[in-house]
């Protein structure tokens, strides 16, 4: 992604603008709403493209690079297109000690892909994540906005069955 590539085709939807305005009103500066704006846009678009960065920057009165820095700092923002669902498996210390490697291996086998890849049917992108602050439920993963904890291979199979 290159923040200097300005593409003005994307516009924030009315619904996103309303949510961003609500969030921005809580703070003295509209800059504070960058993360919220990116989250709402990502929910609508599936990922944070150059167009999204530019549109958020324009709406909040910022430079695209300022929004780009936020988008690339947090791993919850996807700056590349991916599958309809993203599964992020925590492989940090607590999860690693409680079997994250087996969780990753099972998902890779079931999906026929490696970490960082998308299934050929475009359904699932498999990603690694740093600690997601749910160590008590290790091993865990996040899919969409939902946490799945104390994972077993049965729970993984059930999750994969649910995803369209
Ligand atoms: S180490 Fe996995 S949630 Fe903290």
Per the structure, the complete domain to which residue 158 belongs is given by 85-162
Q: How far is the C-alpha of 45 from the C-alpha of 38, rounded, in Å?
A: 10
pLDDT given for residue 144 in this prediction: 87
- Tokens standing for residue 76: 């919850």
Least confident of 4-13, 89-98, 149-158: 4-13
Does residue 5 fall inside a structural domain? Answer: no
Q: How far is the C-alpha of 144 from the C-alpha of 140, rounded, in Å?
A: 13
Q: Quote the ligand 1 centre to 91 CA distance (angstroms).
A: 7
Q: Decide: 86 and 119 in contact? Cβ < 8 Å.
A: no
HSE-CB of 16 using CA atoms within 13 angstroms: 22
CATH number, domain containing residue 43: 1.10.10.1590
Nearest ligand 1 atom to the CA of 134 is 3
pLDDT of 5 strictly over 80: no
* pTM of this structure: 0.82
Q: Which residues line ligand 1 (CB under 6 A)?
A: 90, 92-95, 131-132, 134-135, 138, 140
Does residue 47 fall inside a structural domain? Answer: yes
Nearest ligand 1 atom to the CA of 91 is 2
């Amino acid at each position: 992604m290159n923040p200097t590539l300005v593409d003005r085709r994307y516009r924030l939807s009315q619904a996103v603008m309303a949510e961003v305005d609500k969030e921005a009103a809580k703070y003295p500066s509209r800059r504070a709403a960058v993360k919220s704006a990116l989250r709402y846009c990502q929910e609508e678009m599936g990922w944070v493209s150059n167009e999204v960065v530019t549109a958020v920057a324009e709406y909040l009165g910022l430079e695209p690079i300022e929004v780009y820095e936020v988008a690339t700092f947090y791993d919850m923002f996807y700056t590349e297109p991916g599958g309809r669902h993203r599964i992020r498996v925590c492989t940090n210390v607590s999860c690693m000690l409680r079997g994250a490697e087996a969780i990753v291996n099972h998902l890779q086998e079931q999906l026929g892909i490696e970490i960082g890849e998308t299934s050929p049917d475009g359904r699932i992108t498999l990603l690694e994540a740093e600690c997601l602050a749910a160590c008590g439920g290790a091993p865990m993963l996040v899919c969409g906005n939902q946490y799945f904890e104390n994972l077993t291979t049965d729970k993984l199979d059930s999750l994969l069955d649910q995803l369209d």
